[in-house]
Structure 1
Amino acid sequence: MEGRDGYNRRVLIDTHTHLLRLSVPPEIAVREAREVGVEAVVNIGTNVSDSREGVELARRTAGVFTTGGIHPHNAGDHSQESLAALLELAGSGEIVALGEVGLDYYRNEWPPEMQRALFQDVVSIANEVRLPLVIHSREAFSDTMDVLAGARVPVVLHCFEGGESEVLEAAERGYYIGLTGNVTYKNKPTAEFLDGIPPERILVETDAPYLSPEPLRGKPNVPKNVVHTARFVAGRLGMDEAGFAALTTANARRFYGLDGEPGSAGPVA
């Protein structure tokens, strides 16, 4: 059975979205995504409060998984109390990864040393509890990779915007690369180097409500729009859409442990 956008139903996963920030109720967004072939979405935590809300959302909504994290824009929330809360969430079995966390030198809302201290602490927690890491890195690739040298768990570089050298380094480390709607923009270099990403490390995501893909750029993003990014990347790689969807879904399930591995946060129904 095909969804309205041509994909077979239940074959894609939006691996990075902010359901609690959408202009529509999360349950409606998830239902609309499923109608066009998105079988599951991963909601991303950006502070302790919304990470806890994400757990509640995943508990009540089939096909929703969630993470716990502190975004670098929220580095001012870094404290022993917040780290203890993340550790508690990580040990609960109700989150599938830690993040998003990382470095943002573009907005630079907090000093780099504060961002880095938070980042290192969350990497340490991830190593302790054996959960994967969801990384935000903007204009901070070198420092991000420096901190991640200490990671002993799977890593995804969310909203990847790198060029040839960044693709090569990520591939050498075995990191997953999250491709968001901005890969479809004409002024972004990443599309020129997609064939350098190992196929088994490609994920697709929306980062909704941000970064709507072409042809929806400028409008609020929602999880169902991951089909446009998937179609674009499949075309650039010379893959058929069904094969690409199957590939990235398998990658997402492996990275997040969505087939009943420790860290799963609810059923895919």
Structure 2
Amino acid sequence: MIDAGVNLTSSQFHVDADDVVARAREAGITSMMVIGCDEQDSIEALALAKRYQYASCAGIHPHNAKDASADLESNLRQLASENEVVAIGECGLDYNRDFSPRPQQREIFARQLALANELNLPVYLHERDAHEDMLAILKEYQPKGVLHCFTGTRAQAENYLDLGLYLGVTGWVCDERRSQDLNDALNVISLDRVLIETDAPYLLPRTIRPKPKSRRCEPMHLAYVVAHLSAHYGVSESEVSKTTTQNFRTLFNL
């Protein structure tokens, strides 16, 4: 299995990253995407990717758009010259929390899409409560990429699929309280357009039994996402793992 989204730079992993990676490998996780959320975080993500022989992305999360430097493109271009950096992002729009002004979010997002096209790299996308604006900007730039941690509706999924994007499915799909839209959307998302991810340390699957004492999600918990998708698609867990691994390698040219 490949975990297509891990916030390994999180302070929650600072003390025991080696142990987290060891447990992931024991659980059959052969690789990960280490997510970068701002310029410094992307440098740290690259260092971790080199350390553990994983992949990483480099970009500016919409929460951090207000802090993007004037040298954004130059800095990201330099990071993208490293073999481990296989995508631009995490980038996109977040109108749920509005930690950065919306016009600035749109500007920084568009600049990263333009850079990704220049470098012929896919994008690692984030969207919350901003579907219409996100769609309009994506239609302008037509990037390759994945909508990370997709939690939207069937109609939203179809819009993203029509643009050729992959959709990332996390432990959100295991949450009986709020996964109705996502589980309905899976009916129009074929398995060959899915990437599986934990978004660790967030979104611990609620189907874990016995219930863990810690709320911290780890890559080793990816198996619970696989089990849910196996039941939904009516295929073996091995097939889910195999197909999503190939999807990851295809998208990121690995």
TM-score of Structure 1 vs Structure 2, range by shorter chain: over 0.9
Contact 2:139–2:163 (CA under 8 A) maintained in structure 1: no
Contact 1:213–1:225 (CA under 8 A) maintained in structure 2: yes
Separation in structure 2 between the aligned mates of residue 65 and residue 75 of structure 1, nearest angstrom: 23
The answer to whether structure 1 residue 114 and structure 2 residue 116 are counterparts is: no
Aligned to 1:257: 253
User: Structure 1: which 5+ runs fail to align?
Assistant: 1-11, 259-269
1:152, CA displacement in angstroms? 4.0
1:84, CA displacement in angstroms? 1.6
Contact 2:3–2:219 (CA under 8 A) maintained in structure 1: yes
Give CA-to-partner distance per residue, 1:206-234, whole Å, 9 cap, x none: 11111111224871111111111111112
Separation in structure 1 between the aligned mates of residue 69 and residue 49 of structure 2, nearest angstrom: 26
Give CA-to-partner distance per residue, 1:113-149, whole Å, 9 cap, x none: 0100000000000000011101000011111111111
The match for 1:144 among 134, 156, 161 is 134
- Give the TM-score normalised by the residue count of structure 1: 0.87
Contact 1:171–1:198 (CA under 8 A) maintained in structure 2: no
1:45, CA displacement in angstroms? 0.2
Give CA-to-partner distance per residue, 1:223-266, whole Å, 9 cap, x none: 111111111112111111111110001101111222xxxxxxxx
Separation in structure 2 between the aligned mates of residue 249 and residue 208 of structure 1, nearest angstrom: 18
Aligned to 1:101: 91
Separation in structure 1 between the aligned mates of residue 58 and residue 140 of structure 2, nearest angstrom: 19
User: Structure 2: which 5+ runs fail to align?
Assistant: none
Quick one: percent identity of the two aligned structures? 35
Aligned to 1:38: 29
The match for 2:150 among 153, 160, 185 is 160
Contact 2:175–2:207 (CA under 8 A) maintained in structure 1: no
The amino acid across from 2:182 in the alignment is T
Aligned to 1:8: none
Aligned to 2:202: 210
What is the DSSP-based 3-state SS (H/G/I as helix, E as strand, rest coil) of the residue aligned with 1:80? coil
The amino acid across from 2:234 in the alignment is G
Give CA-to-partner distance per residue, 1:156-188, whole Å, 9 cap, x none: 111101111112112222110000111111222
Aligned to 2:220: 224
The answer to whether structure 1 residue 236 and structure 2 residue 229 are counterparts is: no
The match for 1:68 among 41, 58, 80 is 58
TM alignment of 1:119-198, pairs within 5 A: 119-186=109-176, 187-188=178-179, 189-198=181-190
- Give the TM-score normalised by the residue count of structure 2: 0.92
Separation in structure 2 between the aligned mates of residue 171 and residue 237 of structure 1, nearest angstrom: 18
The amino acid across from 1:86 in the alignment is L
Contact 2:34–2:46 (CA under 8 A) maintained in structure 1: no
What is the DSSP-based 3-state SS (H/G/I as helix, E as strand, rest coil) of the residue aligned with 2:30? strand
Contact 2:155–2:185 (CA under 8 A) maintained in structure 1: no
Separation in structure 1 between the aligned mates of residue 121 and residue 18 of structure 2, nearest angstrom: 26
Aligned to 1:14: 3
1:88, CA displacement in angstroms? 1.4
